[in-house]
């Protein structure tokens, strides 16, 4: 008994040391703001796996339900109605995106619903007094904040969450990360997620907004994404991906993801991403 206990303890200490090391060396951490939320996402296979273990550990006491393609953990404040809404939304969006990606994760996707915004922030390594995010992709897990906390139009919570909510966006981050193995700049994965919101939910980010394409050029998006105005940076990222798909088709985008996953250098595609259309 004692030995077993000790092993478990050391295992957790090892994970913690690994996590702290990665924080200190700053492996693939990005902070950004979108709509009314801030989000951290880590797109790096090693960091993804470490983050995933940390999230599992921190939510080990949460209740959970399983659907065909998800394990959904939830904290105490989540109502049955919200849990059911999340189940339906997740399964519906999953079917649509998996069909386009022609890829389905080997394991069920982990999703966590939080009524406690501070817990969401802590589990996704967000710090400070930033406004809590409504969704985060971190540690191979989709983290979702209870929509009753951020949708003011109470009568339309179901509709808004289903057709404009964060599950689709974060799920596309997860699939992009799996297929392309984190081998892309941040603007690219944001553009792909926003493109799917446009394609599946009909939600167009930055619609009608004028963007200074000299300032929001590919070099700046690639190297200074989190220093740019997030609204314009997201808008231009979306438009670059949309232009690519308009010209080459969605299959070409999926081929590109698979090539990135095989280690193709992202820079070789730079000529294809102009976003001037
Ligand atoms: Zn995103």
Å from CA of 4 to ligand 1 middle: 41
Stretches where the chain sits below pLDDT 70 are: 1-43, 275-277
Report pLDDT for 133.
86
Å from CA of 206 to ligand 1 middle: 14
On whether both 63 and 200 belong to a single domain, the answer is no
Tokens of 18: 């690994």
The span from the first CA to the last CA of the chain, in angstroms, equals: 66
Each as own residue / partner, the long-range contacts of residues 82-88 (CB below 8 Å, 24 or more positions apart, any chain) are 82/113, 82/146, 82/147, 82/148, 83/113, 85/147, 85/157, 85/158, 85/161, 85/162, 86/111, 86/113, 86/144, 86/167, 88/162
Report pLDDT for 228.
94
Å from CA of 177 to ligand 1 middle: 12
Would you say how long the chain is, in residues?
A: 277
On whether both 150 and 242 belong to a single domain, the answer is no
On whether both 19 and 88 belong to a single domain, the answer is yes
CATH of the domain at 80: 3.30.2010.30
How many helices (H) and strands (E) the chain has is answered by 10, 7
On whether both 10 and 130 belong to a single domain, the answer is yes
* 151 within 8 A of 145, measured Cβ to Cβ: no
Å from CA of 255 to ligand 1 middle: 21
pLDDT per residue as tens digits for the range 178-213: 999 999 999 999 999 999 999 999 999 999 999 999
Domain count, the chain: 2
Report pLDDT for 43.
63
- Residues sharing a CB contact under 8 Å with residue 85, sequence separation 6 or more, in sequence order: 147, 157, 158, 161, 162
On whether both 41 and 156 belong to a single domain, the answer is yes
C-alpha closest to that of 237 among 228, 140, 9: 228
Tell me the whole-structure pTM to 2 decimals. 0.84
Other Cβ atoms within 10 Å of 220 Cβ, number:
16
Which of the listed residues 151, 182, 213 is the one where a domain comes to its end?
182
Å from CA of 30 to ligand 1 middle: 11
Å from CA of 133 to ligand 1 middle: 11
On whether both 189 and 168 belong to a single domain, the answer is no
Å from CA of 126 to ligand 1 middle: 14
On whether both 247 and 199 belong to a single domain, the answer is yes
Which of the listed residues 154, 182, 210 is the one where a domain comes to its end?
182
The Cα-based distances of 216 to 30, 148, 243 in angstroms read: 18, 35, 15
The residues placing their C-beta within 5 Å of ligand 1, an ion, are 190, 193
Å from CA of 41 to ligand 1 middle: 8
Which of the listed residues 159, 182, 205 is the one where a domain comes to its end?
182
Give me the residue label for tokens 């599992």: 56
Å from CA of 44 to ligand 1 middle: 15
On whether both 117 and 71 belong to a single domain, the answer is yes
Å from CA of 25 to ligand 1 middle: 23
Å from CA of 5 to ligand 1 middle: 39
On whether both 6 and 119 belong to a single domain, the answer is yes
pLDDT per residue as tens digits for the range 123-166: 998 877 778 889 999 999 999 999 999 999 999 999 999 999 99
On whether both 49 and 170 belong to a single domain, the answer is yes
Report pLDDT for 40.
41
Q: CA–CA separation, 238 vs 259, rounded Å? A: 21
Report pLDDT for 135.
95
On whether both 257 and 154 belong to a single domain, the answer is no
Å from CA of 247 to ligand 1 middle: 23
Quote the domain boundaries for residue 224: 184-277
On whether both 236 and 118 belong to a single domain, the answer is no
Report pLDDT for 275.
64
Å from CA of 13 to ligand 1 middle: 31
C-alpha closest to that of 64 among 81, 87, 92, 85: 87
Å from CA of 136 to ligand 1 middle: 7
């Amino acid at each position: 008994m004692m030995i077993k206990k000790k092993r478990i303890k050391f295992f957790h200490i090892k994970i913690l040391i690994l996590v702290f090391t990665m924080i200190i060396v700053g492996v693939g951490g990005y902070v950004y703001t979108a709509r009314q939320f801030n989000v951290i996402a880590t797109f790096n296979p090693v960091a993804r796996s470490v983050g995933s273990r940390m999230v599992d550990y921190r939510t080990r006491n949460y209740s959970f339900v399983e659907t065909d393609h998800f394990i959904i953990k939830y904290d105490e404040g989540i109502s049955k109605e919200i849990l059911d809404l999340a189940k339906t939304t997740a399964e519906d969006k999953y079917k649509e995106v998996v069909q386009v990606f022609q890829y389905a994760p080997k394991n069920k996707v982990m999703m966590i619903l939080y009524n406690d915004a501070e817990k969401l922030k802590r589990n996704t390594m967000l710090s400070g007094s930033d406004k809590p995010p409504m969704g985060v992709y971190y540690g191979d897990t989709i983290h979702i904040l209870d929509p009753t906390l951020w949708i003011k139009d109470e009568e339309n919570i179901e509709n808004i969450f289903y057709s404009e909510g964060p599950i689709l966006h974060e799920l596309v981050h997860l699939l992009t990360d799996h297929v392309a193995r984190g081998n892309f700049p941040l603007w690219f994965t944001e553009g792909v997620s926003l493109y799917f919101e446009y394609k599946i939910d009909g939600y167009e980010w930055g619609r009608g907004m004028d963007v200074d394409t000299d300032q929001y050029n590919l070099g700046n998006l690639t190297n200074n994404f989190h220093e740019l105005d997030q609204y314009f940076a997201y808008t231009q990222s979306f438009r670059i991906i949309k232009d690519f798909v308009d010209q080459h088709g969605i299959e070409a985008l999926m081929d590109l993801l698979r090539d990135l996953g095989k280690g193709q250098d992202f820079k070789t595609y730079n000529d294809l991403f102009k976003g001037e259309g």
